[in-house]
Structure 1
């Protein structure tokens, strides 16, 4: 059994942390990037350049660096990043972290699968560490996600990267019966990761729930949270948060709406769209096919596709819960030769999380509504994304296909369009989405597998 640490040891530890915090604050202030600049445009420092204090009141530059170890981060965060095999930064991390670490508001836009979660988890941890936050201080940061699955995924990243810090964190998501248990502990949590509805429920119902000292607000998949579906909840939440705070918004498709930004009380935010100048709005290793399919042939086409790709992990998007349930039940009775799963918003939370975990691990076909379109990272690569129904808009299309070809993996997608929906093709091309229109199914469906 471990011996309890002596009072002297704890005092020494506090002193060393205090020294580190003072060093980090001096480093951040001395080398903070100019407002309005993108650190990606700076020439990276050589790999073996000295890091940190270089002399009296001089420090190494951290804007434009490419490795986490070159940033002004605490030893606790750096050790956890190293243990989690995070060494080099992605584009959105390189662009946003120098601004967010020095306390600025950030609007970060980057393609799906580009490392946005780490781009806001690190500044949250570092802000609370440098503020000497502890369990008694209460809520220091709130991270809002539009879906329960994405909130759970963010919580896992926070747990991994923040494991050396002493902060308490909680996952507050709807669909569970433990709201009474949550009410007992929510005031003792430092970082809340939540969906808008559940957070508002605690704000309205939990006695003494207090966010008045909160330091950092994060909206992940911000464009989804800012749209009309969450408008009432978000306005009610924002009205109860302190205006003096750091706010970060991240998404694959980002808002520049003055009205939205005013609602959030943003102060001169840094707008960092790292892929705005890209030739394509979607990952470069993603092959995208569009087919015109008459309504009465859609299910035949989908069935034939599944029979042709029994060795693939396939994510199939349909537009409603009823469609997902119908297609799942009908195809299950036909025994295609590959496990079938379904995911939609009317399922209980435990069931949704179990299906998400199973699909991450095993080759199968998952029929889903847009509940799986946002931010979710399926551990083992999704080979195909099939959109049986036309998405509502280009942003929805980009989020759906973003479930494959993540990071440096390749992937494929196919979109079925009705003859009356072909104007969607023009919208996709105008948004720099490189789709290939094909009239023949034999490019990805073997003729002998085509079935009625």
Structure 2
């Protein structure tokens, strides 16, 4: 009979971790890419080439990696990624990770659906692991997201990639009644995923809550968080954070504003815009159409569109909560033959998450404000994005249509423009968006 395998004791585990950390630090320092380079321009590493230590004081390169197992990251992170099905890296991950793992600040711009979340989750886990971060060390990283739904998705990715680490993590988002329970536990958490308002609430109200040892700050959908609407809140948050830290800003569109970068204390950030040189600013598998629709014909046109696509999953954007509620109620009474749902910012958090989950599961029409345009990943492909109202600007258009054609799947979008809004079509074309114009039909 075989003897049962004995689990390594804690002392052995600690020694193994210390050895691994020393190896990782040596590997990272010896092979770090030059500042200002884009690892996407490096030749891809040979899949069969040895990884890690390849001589007494020699290590394999990691700029040019195409797979996660070629990176200088811990066994715990590699196991989490593998179990979650993450094997090959996307462009933004290939570009950002070699720089972020060696401690640099990142300004990352990439199309929606391109895998930005893992590009900052991995270096957070690795930074805290190499620093041997523990429960008594408090908050080591803060990830700020503009919406509750996006924060919830980020938290799921963090849990998947970090499942074999021992860090404590918490989701701090508004609209939940258990703020008092959060206050009791928040000082014990190592990684916080939060919305700006909820984070500031804890900074202002929670006894002994402080982030003086913060290692990594992340702003996801950074252009939205740096916008005027969050300006006061963000300034109040940043004023309470240490200036010496690593900072990542990720978004589909990105700021180069000196003022924004200065108030966030970024240190010579690496600007990585992986799709800046691409022919289009939107996903390659996305078919985009714009059409002239006078105001008094918009609802008729939308009704005809829905009736013609009853077997599709359709996301319809409108500009205000009132419009969403009106169109949803009106169409519901008319019974188009497909389930209808609505989503807007005035709904309670639990209801919003429930509707989002239902829409992910089966074909239906979801009427929504821009609350659904940012970062949300509808698990099963959205077939159509319909913009009943013209978006505020090109960036808003990109975020809206980014809910379909995610990763390598296909998708289609249609934009209804009134005759007075033709300037938007010019702006989209100037921004490398290949949109077809039609006067009648779709």
Normalised by the length of structure 2, the TM-score is: 0.98
Q: What aligned pairs does 1:75-86 form with structure 2 within 5 A after superposition?
A: 75-86=75-86
Which residue of 2 is the match for residue 402 of structure 1?
402
Question: What SS does the aligned partner of 1:59 have?
Answer: coil
Query: Helix, strand or coil: the match of 1:155?
Result: helix
**2:387 is matched with which residue?**
387
Q: What pairs with 1:66-105 in structure 2 (closer than 5 Å)?
A: 66-105=66-105
After TM superposition, give the deviation of residue 80 of structure 1 in Å. 1.0
Q: Distance in 2 between matches of 1:93 and 1:137?
A: 28
Provide the rounded CA distance (Å) in 2 between the counterparts of 1:210 and 1:261: 23
Partner Cα separation in structure 2 for residue 401 and residue 171 of structure 1: 27
Aligned counterparts of 1:173 and 1:35: Cα–Cα separation in 2: 36
1:439 aligns with 439
CA distance in 1, matches of 2:13, 2:277: 47
Q: CA deviation at 1:340?
A: 0.5
The residue aligned with 1:450 is none
Deviations along 1:178-235, one digit per CA (max 9) or x if unpaired, are 1111000000011000000000000000000010001000000000000100000000
1:273 and 1:376 map into 2 onto residues whose CA distance is: 21
Aligned to 2:3: none
Q: CA deviation at 1:45?
A: 1.3
Secondary structure of 2:167's counterpart equals: coil
* Matched position secondary structure for 2:260: helix
Give unpaired runs (5+ residues) of structure 1. Answer: 445-452
Q: Deviations over 1:312-347 (max 9, x none)?
A: 000000000000011011111111111000000000
Give the Cα separation in 1 of the matches to 2:119 and 2:97: 6
Q: Deviation per CA, 1:64-96, whole angstroms, max 9, x where unpaired?
A: 110100000100110111111111100000000
Q: Distance in 2 between matches of 1:41 and 1:362?
A: 40
Please, what TM-score do these two structures have when normalized by structure 1?
0.96
Name segments (4+ residues, structure 1) moved above 3 Å.
none
Q: Distance in 1 between matches of 2:133 and 2:283?
A: 39
- Equivalences for residues 352-431 of structure 1 within 5 A: 352-431=352-431
Which string of whole-angstrom CA distances, capped at 9 and with x for unpartnered residues, describes residues 347-368 of structure 1?
0000001011111111110000
User: What's 1:234 paired with?
Assistant: 234
Following superposition of structure 1 onto structure 2, how do residues 235-274 of structure 1 map, counting pairs within 5 Å?
Answer: 235-274=235-274
**Structure 2 CA distance for aligned equivalents of residues 213 and 297 of structure 1:** 58
Aligned-pair CA distance for 1:137: 1.1
1:145-179 Cα offsets, whole Å, 9 max, x none, are: 00000000000000111000011110000011111
5+ long unaligned stretches in structure 2: 1-5
User: How far 1:105 moved relative to its partner?
Assistant: 0.1
CA distance in structure 2 between the partners assigned to 1:57 and 1:44 by the alignment: 23
Question: Partner of 1:271: helix, strand, or coil?
Answer: strand
Whole-Å Cα distance in 1 between the matches of residues 118 and 361 of structure 2?
22
For residues 438 and 134 of structure 2, the distance between their equivalents in structure 1, rounded to whole angstroms, comes to 58
Residue in 2 aligned with 1:448? none
What does residue range 325-336 of structure 1 map to in structure 2 within 5 Å?
325-336=325-336
Distance 2:138 2:361 in 1: 36
Secondary structure of 1:58's aligned partner: coil
Q: Per the alignment, in what secondary structure is the counterpart of residue 278 of structure 2?
A: coil
What residue number does 1:177 align with? 177
Alpha-carbon distance between aligned partners in 1 of 2:226 and 2:299, rounded to the nearest angstrom: 34
